[in-house]
């Protein structure tokens, strides 16, 4: 029996949805939760990270609890993030000062990364839908996504950096589905699903991108015939795959579930096997942060593990869509390795631990493990919700807004 009930449900409830209990307490007038959560702080925050974690979390909790407190706080935060879009190109700055209402690029460059500017759309679109205030969706969808759609791509693949002053791509010869680019491709599909599958331009961009991935980035190793996704640097292929890329099997499977070609599901199954082997072939049973593949013989890896969610996220999707028990078994093996070697700290090498735990371990990794092990196959149905890139479920619009 898997963890539909018992201690793991308690752990999940306490660590991932602790905010749910606040909604009940906040209904009492004497409780000060609405005053205790303030975003008027003289502090720089990252637009992308704040949107996917905090704004997405507030919107998701609002839908789960129906408590207007969380929508009020989402609107409050969304308005504090808007200065990021005051740029000559309308491509947002990476950093916002919530208290001062100012924004700027990173200290070392005028560029924003592809993922930063294209992975906040689900959240701001939903904020516009709930408030009937178009400013959030217009700035993100019309300005940013249309700008990128009109930009020069490489068979649907987009460079990793974009200049906030000119709006032009920089580092034009570098293409990856790993760090700094990954969730752009994820959000193309998920925006299309969120909107009720009527925004053909998003679907077109997603399908073109996946064909570009297949054409330029997908390869197989030598004897073991593992399919992986590498990187392209000025027309030179690099057989390097970040653990972050293991989001792709789940995204491909999600698209196939929503009616896209079965070839996407075939590729999802192949990549899922590779992501599993990135764990299974390590002495600790924990995937490296980066794997280097060989097209002829053996492979090597960077051995540190950050408790990332991407593989268990994809295992959740694959199990939901195929009901194959092996995906639960693989998730259980990963969980056992986390228990044995990491103590939920960042794992470096064997017993050498960094006393640090990223928030995505609670917000995503444990959540997807919980959903993978749940006996309730309708829990957060993938026909009713779409998960943002921080694993916060948002509703699919039915019918889609006009």
- Of 95, 123, 126, 182, catalytic: 182
Binding-site positions for Ca(2+): 389
> Residue 48: which residues within 8 A CB-CB, separation 6 or more?
94, 115, 116, 117, 119, 120
- For residue 273, indicate whether it is catalytic: no
- Of 49, 72, 133, 204, catalytic: 49
Structure tokens at 307: 């408790």
Q: Which helix (H) or strand (E) holds 259?
A: none
Q: Quote the DSSP letter at residue 164.
A: T
- Of 310, 313, 364, 390, catalytic: 310
Distance CA 293, CA 280 (A): 15
Structure tokens at 281: 């072939």
Taking CA atoms, 346 is separated from 228, 280, 321, 362, in Å, by 25, 19, 31, 13
Q: Quote the DSSP letter at residue 56.
A: H
By the 8 A CB rule, do 195 and 206 touch?
no
Strand partners, 387: 393
Cis amide leading into 399 (omega within 30): yes
Q: What phi, psi does 54 have (nearest 5°)?
A: -90, -55
Q: How many helices (H) and strands (E) does the chain have?
A: 18, 18
Binding-site positions: 389
- For residue 116, indicate whether it is catalytic: no
- For residue 123, indicate whether it is catalytic: no
- Of 186, 242, 289, 313, catalytic: 289
- For residue 182, indicate whether it is catalytic: yes
By the 8 A CB rule, do 84 and 92 touch?
yes
Render the burial of 296-317: b for 16+ CB within 10 Å, e for the rest: eeebebebebbbbbbbbbbbbb
Q: Is 380 left (phi over 0), alpha (psi -120 to 50) or beta?
A: left
Closest CA to 382 of 322, 307, 311: 322
By the 8 A CB rule, do 44 and 97 touch?
yes
What own/partner pairs with CB < 8 Å and gap ≥ 24 does 17-24 have?
Answer: 17/64, 19/57, 19/61, 20/61, 20/64, 20/65, 23/61, 23/65, 23/67, 23/69, 23/70
CA-based max dimension of the chain: 68
Catalytic residues: 49, 182, 289, 310
């Amino acid at each position: 029996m898997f963890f539909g009930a018992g201690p793991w449900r308690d752990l999940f409830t306490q660590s991932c949805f602790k905010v749910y209990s606040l909604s009940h307490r906040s209904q009492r007038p004497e409780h000060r939760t609405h005053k205790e959560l303030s975003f008027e702080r003289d502090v720089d925050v990252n637009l992308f990270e704040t949107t996917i974690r905090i704004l997405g979390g507030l919107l998701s909790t609002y839908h789960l609890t129906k408590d207007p407190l969380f929508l009020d706080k989402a609107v409050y935060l969304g308005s504090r993030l808007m200065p990021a879009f005051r740029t000559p190109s309308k491509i947002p700055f990476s950093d916002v000062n919530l208290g001062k209402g100012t924004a700027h690029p990173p200290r070392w460059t005028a560029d924003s990364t592809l993922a930063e500017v294209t992975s906040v759309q689900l959240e701001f679109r939903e904020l516009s839908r709930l408030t009937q205030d178009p400013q959030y969706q217009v700035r993100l969808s019309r300005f940013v996504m249309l700008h990128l759609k009109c930009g020069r791509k490489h068979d649907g693949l987009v460079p990793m950096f974009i200049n906030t002053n000119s709006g032009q791509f920089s580092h034009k010869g570098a293409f990856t589905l790993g760090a700094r680019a990954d969730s752009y491709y994820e959000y193309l599909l998920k925006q299309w699903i969120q909107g009720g599958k009527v925004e053909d331009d998003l679907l077109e961009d997603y399908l073109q991108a996946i064909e570009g991935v297949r054409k330029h980035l997908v390869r197989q190793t030598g004897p073991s015939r593992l399919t992986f996704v590498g990187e392209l640097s000025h027309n030179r292929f690099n057989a390097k795959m970040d653990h972050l890329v293991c989001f792709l099997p789940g995204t491909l499977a999600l698209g196939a579930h929503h009616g896209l070609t079965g070839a996407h599901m075939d590729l999802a199954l192949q990549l899922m096997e590779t992501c599993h082997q990135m764990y299974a072939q390590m002495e600790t049973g924990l995937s490296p942060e980066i794997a280097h593949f060989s097209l002829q013989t053996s492979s090597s890896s960077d051995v540190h593990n950050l408790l990332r969610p991407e593989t268990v996220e994809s295992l959740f999707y694959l199990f939901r869509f195929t009901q194959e028990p092996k995906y639960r078994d693989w998730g259980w093996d990963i969980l056992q390795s986390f228990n044995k070697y990491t103590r939920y700290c960042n794992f470096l090498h064997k017993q050498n631990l960094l006393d640090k735990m990223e928030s995505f371990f609670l917000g995503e990794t444990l959540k997807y493990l919980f959903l993978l092990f749940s006996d309730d196959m309708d829990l957060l149905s993938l026909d009713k919700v779409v998960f943002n890139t921080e694993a916060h479920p948002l509703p699919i619009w039915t019918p889609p807004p006009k």
